[in-house]
Structure 1
């Protein structure tokens, strides 16, 4: 400009030289300054005047620019998104929770009405009194009921009163053998035939029942026990000489024929995830949806090492191991509070010989202490049982004992022959054995996993046994390694914000609790009982939205968790966004209420725990001299 040019011309030479030097000195930063000016102009053009001013005044450090932009952009975008979505704009968490409660009540009422409707339909099909007298089939049944002797054979009776049978019992529970034995080939077809445990039914046993059906449903697990003849051989035969293989099941044939298949992935039996974690990882590729228990350290699977010896040849038993197992089991049955707990017990062994040995030892204990007898009474819904690998499928108990049986022989050598595990499909037998427990699995073994040399065998069942023993011995550490940690990272910044805010309130928070695709978002550790969680905090994140139906999302998942002992508190993202302080305070107060209620309950419950303590807490069962100590 003309005035500046005139001012420079009027300067004396020394002053002009100084001015020129002052202009030339920052030349190196001139490009950066020009770039900054261009960036300022571009930012102002797109509406970022506030960001430019904050940087220019030093209010915002250059290193924090990207973070500040992301945060403020997210706030702007969220406001726009909420304003444009009628559901989000009108969302009120209290009203939504009321709708969830109403849905749960209606769903429960619908279930009850459906049961009553089915019962009414069945009762309506029963004939009136005068119709009974006129119908010849009812007359046959009446005569058979009044007879004292000379009853018709059951097959003949069913043949003479086919319509009456289906009117009285439209659903028949029969084995394939019973169907062939009691129903004639010309009997009326059934609308539906359902095969349970189809993996154990040979093809030729299933064909007769299938021929009597208009529709067939096969229910089974191809990863579990197939039809087998392993223990039907002579006891004198040596294990190593057995060569016959497993038979194909009707389930295998249906899968091979590519019939329509539906996978049931939710697992309900196990009250602790560690009871199913090994099988879920090893056999189901982590595809089972399991639910965590509210304990911070899941120790439901434990290994009890015994200095035992496996007697090869004719005996095929491990006496020290059997005695240690029976001593531990009897101590558990005798412990104070066990009977009142209602917990049930079962034993599974690797072979029939060890099964009979344990049965004999338990019989001796029952003779010496008649007080044990009620636990074995057939009148019990689930009495104590002792079964082997081939017969335990379909059974379950709260507490399961597993006798590995095999181990070092009398000379101290460890063989690689593990009976049925060495054959094709041996891993399926192991899968059945280790998934029978609802609360606790106690593994008694004379063998550690690191004593098994896999270079001496190619059997998948033996390989899996080695890894299972390692899993049982190392407990939670092995579970964490197999599933990349039960404690995961935050699934969203929303969860992170809630967890950090609870931490500032003094609560200890663990994140992403679980060992399968389902996780509890946040879990608050009980301040008085560090081994337990006070509550789970569910955020409406990806896990919530992934649920296939409203029943899964708003009823079944929480119902299962509460059945496992969880208290569930929910935080809605819209509440957290609109009023984080108030939402945090309500959450804090709810957790405090749960803590106060639990503290009020616990003094009354003291002394009633006894043997019913859940896995993951101290086991009240006294140690026995023979049982050694748990390596877990």
Structure 2
């Protein structure tokens, strides 16, 4: 009879809906009871550990012999545990609210604590003093990298905060940047009542050179270690660098280079003096503007368009910012977009500390009277040439460079020319252009 009634109720729309709702409600009840049991398990375990005896699902203790007093004591203990748990939860909530209120400022406080316990901290010389995170910190040991480029006032900042220090650098490469006003002030010093001749000379030396270079000369061999083996450059390039800048003491440990599609030596020079002066000459943008050289820019761009595929990791280094801009525009047209150009073209200063498989260095200067400007600062040429790992290509007007009015630069170019004639690869710009265009006799 009941089954027939259920069938009739199910067929009725309202009855069927009510039955479905009842089944859903019963299901929810069962799930809620199951979840409540799971939630109660940790509390039940804590109550049992507190000595209340095993707690059964219906809430009664499992002690059959326990009397009424034991039951009351057990429930009082449970109440204390529950009250302690509630108080702990309330305390945690207060702490959490306080932490959330402090989040905007807690980041800096946390960083300061982390820095205080750090084993190694990296910073610039000035940053050691100016960064709030490092305020009040002293150091057991300071390592100052690229110390040959750091002027004395900047170098003193980390040194006075450290018990011991090691300076790492190369005073045969880029010197410290010297502000024009400071340079003019130092040059204008003359001996007088306030300054002796020795004091003037010392001040000018401090301003003009890095303290690393000054210390290197007088600190004594027992306090210094000199690099005698280099592993970056091919031996042909490194041997010239060693003779020209390091007194011939620099040895080489390099795996060598593979076959090259164009040059027969890792040290190559493309000479533009085979062109008429109007074609190869430098130009100046305005009375005090930068110097650029259109022939060199076009030649370098054409070279990289055909040659960079052999050395995908490449860079072009030039001495003048105006030439950097011209080269970037020219290379973007040839290589198709700034992405492959912007980070690969720059001045010598921009590439200090970098290295690439292929380095192309353009001298830019080309004139009738042998004026080379600040190319006469030989340390810049040293930096440019020592960036290479596989192939170095120099581009310039050997006629102008070889007639430089600066004795040191002229002697270096003479030594470079002699090296090129024996173990290097000296090519005329027309020959290179012919190879690039793939047609004999092709001219620009």
Relative to the length of structure 2, the TM-score reads 0.59
- CA distance change for structure 1 residues 253 and 166 in 2, over 3 Å: closer, same or farther? farther
Matches within 5 A, 1:138-537: 147=103, 150-151=104-105, 157=108, 162-167=112-117, 169-183=118-132, 187-229=136-178, 247-258=208-219, 260-270=223-233, 272-291=234-253, 293=255, 299-306=265-272, 307=275, 308-312=280-284, 314-333=289-308, 335=309, 338=310, 343-366=312-335, 369=336, 373=339, 375-376=340-341, 384-408=343-367, 413=368, 415-422=369-376, 426-448=377-399, 452-453=402-403, 456-458=405-407, 460-472=408-420, 474-476=421-423
Residues 315 and 353, structure 1, Cα contact 8 Å, conserved in 2: yes
Residues 200 and 225, structure 1, Cα contact 8 Å, conserved in 2: yes
Residues 358-405 of structure 1, C-alpha deviations (whole Å, 9 max, x = no match): 122123334xx35x84x45xxxxxx85212133322111110000010
TM-superposed CA distance for 1:185, in Å, is 7.8
Following the alignment from structure 1 to structure 2, what is the Cα–Cα distance between the partners of residues 438 and 405?
A: 23
Following the alignment from structure 1 to structure 2, what is the Cα–Cα distance between the partners of residues 384 and 436?
A: 15
- SS of 2:123's equivalent in the other structure is coil
Following the alignment from structure 1 to structure 2, what is the Cα–Cα distance between the partners of residues 186 and 174?
A: 12
Following the alignment from structure 1 to structure 2, what is the Cα–Cα distance between the partners of residues 320 and 192?
A: 51
Residues 381-431 of structure 1, C-alpha deviations (whole Å, 9 max, x = no match): xx85212133322111110000010113xxxx2x23212133xxx121221
- CA distance change for structure 1 residues 407 and 467 in 2, over 3 Å: closer, same or farther? farther
Residue in 2 that maps onto 1:497: none
Following the alignment from structure 1 to structure 2, what is the Cα–Cα distance between the partners of residues 294 and 390?
A: 27
Relative to the length of structure 1, the TM-score reads 0.42
Matches within 5 A, 1:63-82: none
TM-superposed CA distance for 1:294, in Å, is 5.4
TM-superposed CA distance for 1:256, in Å, is 4.4
Residues 224 and 432, structure 1, Cα contact 8 Å, conserved in 2: yes
Residues 299 and 475, structure 1, Cα contact 8 Å, conserved in 2: no
TM-superposed CA distance for 1:321, in Å, is 0.7
Following the alignment from structure 1 to structure 2, what is the Cα–Cα distance between the partners of residues 477 and 317?
A: 27
- CA distance change for structure 1 residues 325 and 161 in 2, over 3 Å: closer, same or farther? closer
Which protein has the larger Cα radius of gyration, Structure 1 or Structure 2?
A: 2
- CA distance change for structure 1 residues 151 and 344 in 2, over 3 Å: closer, same or farther? farther
TM-superposed CA distance for 1:453, in Å, is 2.8
TM-superposed CA distance for 1:247, in Å, is 2.9
Farther-moved stretch of structure 1 (199-208 vs 304-313): 304-313
Residues 345 and 384, structure 1, Cα contact 8 Å, conserved in 2: no
Residues 71-118 of structure 1, C-alpha deviations (whole Å, 9 max, x = no match): xxxxxxxxxxxxxxxxxxxxxxxxxxxxxxxxxxxxxxxxxxxxxxxx
Count the aligned residue pairs. Answer: 302
Following the alignment from structure 1 to structure 2, what is the Cα–Cα distance between the partners of residues 390 and 178?
A: 21
- Structure 2: runs of 5 or more not aligned: 1-94, 182-203, 427-431
Greater relative CO (CA pairs within 8 A, separation 6+): 1
Residues 166-192 of structure 1, C-alpha deviations (whole Å, 9 max, x = no match): 43x422221112222204785221121
Aligned-CA RMSD value:
3.9
TM-superposed CA distance for 1:318, in Å, is 0.6
TM-superposed CA distance for 1:471, in Å, is 3.0
Residues 240-290 of structure 1, C-alpha deviations (whole Å, 9 max, x = no match): xxxx997321312332451611112110111x2012111101111211121
- Structure 1: runs of 5 or more not aligned: 1-138, 234-243, 377-382, 480-619
Following the alignment from structure 2 to structure 1, what is the Cα–Cα distance between the partners of residues 324 and 258?
A: 35
TM-superposed CA distance for 1:291, in Å, is 2.9
- SS of 1:321's equivalent in the other structure is helix
